Structure formats: C-alpha cells, structure tokens
Amino acid sequence: MLKKRITLPYILVLLLAVLLVACGPNNAAPNDTDGGDEPAATDAPDDADTGDEADDEAAGGEVEVFSWWTGGGEAAGLEAMIEVFQAKHPDITFNNAAVAGGAGTNARAVLATRLQANDPPDSWQGHAGQELIGTYVAAGQLEPLNFLYEENGWLDVMPETLIPLISQDGNIYSVPVNIHRANVMWYNPTILEENGLEVPQSLDEWIVAMETLREAGMDAPLSMGEQWTAMHLMETVLLASLGTDAYNGLWNGETDWGSAEVTAALEDFQTVLSYTNSDASALSWQDAAQLVVDGDAAFNVMGDWAEGFFREIGMTPQEDYGWAPVPGTAGNFQFLSDSFVLPVGAPNREAAIAWLEVAGSIEGQDAFNPVKGSIPARSDADRSLYGEYLLSAMDDWASDTVVGSLAHGVVASDPWKSEIDTSLGLFLGSGDVAAFQEGLVNACNTAGACQ
Ligand code: GAL
C-alpha cells in the first residue's frame, strides 16, 4: 500500500529533476550554489546545448526584454523587431518589459533597483559607451558576447568605431541594434517660408531667425521638453559653440571646463534657451516635437527618434517637417547607439541569446530601424527600406566626424552625467551661468576626468 501511494509522485519528482537538469546551470540564480543535490544530474544529456543548437534549445519558455520604448515610433520599432523574433521563435513568449519615459529616465531607475535585488531581466537596452562600460560592465553584471560575434560574423559588419565603446579588455559586452543622431534640428518648413527665413546654418543665424519669429509673434520658436531634453539641447550647443576638438576635450580632460571658451558656450546655451517654451518641464519629447509639426514652434532639437515619431503620426517629410544639423554642427555626427546585453544570471539565458541574435541580425535591424528612426548598426542594410531622412543619416554617418552624446550615455559615466544634470537643473531655474560653470567644473573633478 505504501509502495502504491508513492509511485506516482515519485515518478513526477524524477521527471521534474531530469527536466531541471536538462535546462542546465543557465537557469540558476547567480548565487545559487546549493544546486547539484539531484542524484539524477549525472544522467542529464549535457552534451547537446552548445553552438547552433542554442536556438533550438531556447524553444519554449519566455524572454523578458527591458527598454523604455513605449510610444511614438519607439514602441512600433520594437514591435517590428519582436515580430521577427516571434517568427523565428514562435514558442518563446516575449515579455515586453518596457517602462515609459524618454531617454530611459524612469526605466533606468527601475532597472537599477532590479539589478540591486538580483532580479535582472533577460536582456535590456543600454547605450554604447560610458553608460555600458562604466555602469553594467564595471559592476560585473554582464556576460561577454564574443562568442556571438564569432558565431554570427558580426565583427565584419558592425562599425569599427563602435566596438571599442562596447568592449573592455578584449571582451565585447553588447549587441548594437542602431545608430542614432543627436544633433538634429527639426523645423517646420512652412513657418520658415512664411517668415522669409532660410534654414539657419550657424548659431548666430539661428538666433537671428528665432528673434525674427519672436518679433512676428511666436513666443517660443524653439520647443523643448522635460529636463533630459535640455541636456540634449545643451550637448548640441556645446558642440556648435566649441567645435569638434574642444567638445571632445570636455570628456577626455583636454578642455578646461572653467575656461573662457566654455563660458561663451554656456552663454550661447542660455541665449538659445531663452527662445524655448516656459512649460518645457511638463512636456515629453514627443509633445515638444509635436509643437513643430503643429506650427506652434519652428524648431526642435531632438535625436532622430523624432523622425520615427513624425512618421508614426502620419507626417510627410519635407512638407510637415524638415531637418538639418543643429546650426554650427554640420560635418559632425553626434551619435549614440542602443544596444542589448546579456546579464550574468539571465533567468532565460538561451532565450536571451536568441533575442540578441535577432537584434544583431540583418532582418532584425532592417525591421526595427526604418520604423524607429535610426540607421542600422550593421553596414549591410537594405537601403531601399529607408526613407529620405535616414538615407541622409547613413551618408552622414559614413562621411562626418563622429562625436559622442552626453545625454545618451556615450561620453560620461553615469555619476558624472548625474552631477551635470543636477547643475543643469539648478541652472534652468536660476539662469546663473557662473554658478552653472562652477558646478560643471566640480562635476568633472569629482568624476576624476579633469585631475
Ligand atoms: C534615447 C534612446 C533612443 C530613444 C530616446 C528617447 O536614450 O537611445 O532610442 O529611445 O532615448 O526615448
């Protein structure tokens, strides 16, 4: 009788044990050192889960992918890539864990909390550059992905400029899905024409144009949104005012943040800011971009995800919106790159690898980027899929001088950026350039970049 009572559960437990072992150590929590207590372990088929079989092994289960792409072109781009993923892996449930908020301001805080609690998503979106290397790699939170680069031949198709920004000590830590341009000025062609204005080419011309529009009754010719968009505007004006070398020098210690040229650049920023809307802090980047196509503002400075947004809301390029490098920055491509990572202890590691393979693939990138408003990181994209703006961005990426973005993680570590942000917040309230500059000097010193 006793024998009869335990037979069925016993079989079930055995089956469960075999299943668990077959899933392998990849599913173990990072601190899970107490595994291996299943006698059935030695019977597990442990010779079948390498190489190309990773895709097949990923069959079933789920993958949780974290980003901040929840609206306005961004969500649509992500959806397009998810479709490619689901077509390849119909039996993996895609858990889209995007947290709303432009530039990841909210999402990154949520992610930090999860990482602290040892609860990583299977993959997340991180910016190439200091954000990736100085934060996640420095904390030992990521697995190197060299094996994926080798298996997929990605080193032959990913830009040489990008690899060092996602690598440390010979290890590559992410899969870039795109290249975005930060220094784009979007404008309303009708407003410029009606006011007899050419597209401004220099900071001075831009200010004259904005003054003309103001005199014609437009209070805020330049639309802006919440604080990160002010940092975005600031980095483009710094580049315009300082020029390429001095701008780069801000991040490698060669430009003195306390110098007269930086004072002049901050004064330029202050002048440009004086043409922005007073309700900026209450607006998302989409709200601010919308003001331009609605004719309530003439200009908006935003990364080219704004192109994805304009298309998403049915706007026609060159009619409803035009574009140009932020005045004074032509010839520079101020860039950032969205990339996906594999955390140490990914709950569904094989499914995460399957996601990364799609993110790095030509199909994935050519589905995502035309909708997202970015150019593919890969150099072998199908140009016929891209609109006029993105084709021009591809050409500029190939020929311009490439510099990095501050607001989107390329040039400064998170703590440094956050100190800059604090000073910026004070400056937006006070308008005190001297105090702002002092804050920026201190931020650079604290970051150890200016010693
Ligand atoms: C950036 C990100 C872009 C876009 C933008 C606005 O940081 O790299 O992909 O999402 O924020 O949300």
pLDDT at 313 over 60: yes
Distance from Cα 188 to the centre of ligand 1, integer Å: 22
Q: How confident is the model at residue 354 (pLDDT cuts 50, 70, 90)?
A: very high
Residue nearest to atom 8 of ligand 1 (CA): 338
Instruction: Give the mean model confidence (pLDDT) for residues 75-99.
Output: 98
Q: What is the mean pLDDT of residues 391-397?
A: 98
Looking at residue 326, the DSSP 8-state letter turns out to be P
Question: Does the structure show a pLDDT above 50 at 224?
Answer: yes
Q: What percent of the chain has pLDDT over 70?
A: 87
Q: What is the pLDDT of residue 60?
A: 75
Grade residue 132 by pLDDT with cuts at 50, 70 and 90.
very high
Mean pLDDT for 141-147 is: 98
Predicted confidence band at 281 (pLDDT cuts at 50, 70, 90)?
A: very high
Mean pLDDT of 390-398: 98
pLDDT of residue 36: 29
- The bridge status of strand 175-176 relative to strand 184-187 is unpaired
Which range has the worst mean pLDDT, 20-24, 126-130, 135-139, 268-272?
20-24
Rounded CA separation 153/360 (Å): 10
Please state, in angstroms and as integers, the Cα–Cα distance from residue 439 to each residue in 50, 264, 274, 435, following that order: 52, 16, 21, 6
Q: Which CATH number applies to 184-335+405-447?
A: 3.40.190.10
Going by alpha carbons, the residue nearest to atom 5 of ligand 1 is 103
Q: Tell whether the model's pLDDT for residue 1 goes beyond 50.
A: no
Q: Whose CA is nearest to atom 7 of ligand 1?
A: 103
Distance, in Å, from the CA atom of 110 to the CA atom of 436, rounded to the nearest integer, reads 29
Query: The pTM is what?
Result: 0.88
Tell me what the mean pLDDT of segment 278-305 comes to: 98
- Distance from Cα 42 to the centre of ligand 1, integer Å: 47
Distance CA 166, CA 109 (A): 21
Question: What is the model's pLDDT at position 397?
Answer: 98
- Average pLDDT over every residue of 355-371: 98
Q: Which of 115, 322, 326 is nearest to 207 (CA)?
A: 326
- Token readout for 146 is 């060299």
Does the pLDDT at position 355 exceed 60? yes
Q: Residue 76 to residues 312, 314, 322, 373, 375: CA-CA distances in angstroms? A: 8, 13, 22, 10, 15
Domain map of the chain by residue range? 61-179+338-399, 184-335+405-447
Q: How far is the CA of 305 from the centre of ligand 1 (A)?
A: 7
Q: Which of 69, 54, 72 is nearest to 311 (CA)?
A: 72
- The pLDDT assigned to 451 comes to 73
Ligand 1 atom, smallest distance to 102 CA: 12
The pLDDT of residue 15 is above 80: no
CB 219 within 8 A of CB 280: no
Model confidence at 24: pLDDT above 70: no
CB atoms within 10 A of CB 128: 29
**Is the predicted pLDDT of residue 415 greater than 60, yes or no?**
yes
Cα 397 to Cα 400: distance, rounded to the nearest angstrom = 6
User: Please, which pLDDT band fits residue 5 given cuts at 50, 70 and 90?
Assistant: very low
Mean pLDDT of the chain: 89
pLDDT of the residue at 286 = 97
Q: What does the pLDDT average to over 129-151?
A: 98
What pLDDT is stored for residue 59 in this prediction?
A: 55
Q: In this prediction, what percent of the chain has a pLDDT beyond 90?
A: 86
What's the average model confidence in pLDDT over 79-106?
97
Q: From residue 33, how far is each of 28, 49, 122, 350 by CA, in Å?
A: 9, 21, 20, 20
Count the neighbouring beta carbons within 10 Å of the beta carbon of residue 203: 20
User: Which of 227, 338, 405 gets mutated to test ligand 1 (max ligand atoms within 8 A of its CB)?
Assistant: 338
Is CATH 3.40.190.10 correct for 61-179+338-399? yes
